[in-house]
Amino acid sequence: MSIEEVIKKRLSIRKYDSRPIKREDIRSCLAAAQLAPSACNAQPWEFIIVDTPAIRDTLCDAILSGIYGLNSFIRDAPVLVVVVADEKKWFVKVCDFVRSTKLCLIDLGIACEHFVLRAAELGIGTCYLGWFNERKVKKILKIARTKRVHLVISMGYSLNNDTPQPKPRKELCEISRFL
């Protein structure tokens, strides 16, 4: 499959069937994420894979608690990937301060996109979640206070055998310009 085909195939999947995902396929996605570039080669990510049903159910309760109940579809996902950020390289922090940016978030975005593109290539659906109860997630997974959970990725095989239709996109001329 060409990279263009993989990019077109990757969509946010919100309806999963109950088939488990092989750990070797998850490891393949992790290996893709591992190859992502990062500022100062900080590699500020950790991926916590939750595929044990009892732990996944407890994690879903935490993710969806309080005002965060919007993404209830994750209860059907056989795997949840909790993406943990560890911003420890001082030079990256200095760059962040000088530029008023968060290079760590860019790094996480690249690594996560590598992860989900590899999943798409393997026929596994994914969906990014940014709306969840981080405090409760960190407590359940015993994640240090000094670290952040910016994303959770749900994973599973699409319940719909047909390919969901991609969402409309702006024309290239609306999102780019040449000088």
Residue 24: both structure tokens together: 């070797």
In the DSSP assignment, the letter for residue 122 is T
Per-residue pLDDT of 20-67, as tens digits, reads 999 999 999 999 999 999 988 989 999 999 999 999 999 999 999 999
Residue 125 has pLDDT above 90, yes or no: yes
Cα distance between residue 116 and residue 113, in whole Å? 5
Is the per-residue pLDDT at 152 higher than 80? yes
- In the chain, the amino acid numbered 178 is F
Task: State how many domains the chain has.
Answer: 1
Q: Which two tokens stand for residue 53?
A: 């049903």
Instruction: Number of helices (H) and strands (E) in the chain: give both, helices first.
Output: 7, 4
Q: Indicate which CATH number applies to the domain containing 9.
A: 3.40.109.10
**Whole-angstrom Cα distance, residue 34 to residue 16?**
26
Please compute the mean of the pLDDT values over residues 70-90 and round it to a whole number: 91
Mean pLDDT over all residues of the chain? Answer: 92
Q: Quick check: 161 pLDDT over 70?
A: no
Q: How far apart are CA 33 and CA 49, in angstroms?
A: 13
Looking at per-residue pLDDT, the higher value among 5 and 160 belongs to: 5
Q: So what's the pLDDT on residue 146?
A: 87
In this model, does residue 78 exceed pLDDT 70? yes
CB proximity list for 111: less than 8 A, separation 6 or greater: 33, 34, 36, 38, 45, 83
pLDDT on residue 74: 97
Phi, psi dihedrals of residue 166, rounded to the nearest 5°: -65, 150
Asked whether 132 and 143 are in contact (CB, 8 A), the reply is no
Q: Are 132 and 70 in contact (CB under 8 A)?
A: no
pLDDT of residue 23: 98
CA distance 144 to 131: 20
Distance between CA atoms of 19 and 123, rounded to whole angstroms? 12
The structure tokens listed for 77 are 């996902």
For residue 129, list its beta bridge partners.
152
Query: Which residues are 17's β-sheet partners?
Result: none
pLDDT tens column, 88-116 = 766 777 777 777 778 889 999 999 999 99
Percent of the chain with pLDDT over 70: 96
What residue numbers bound the domain in which 145 lies? 3-175
* pTM (predicted TM-score): 0.92
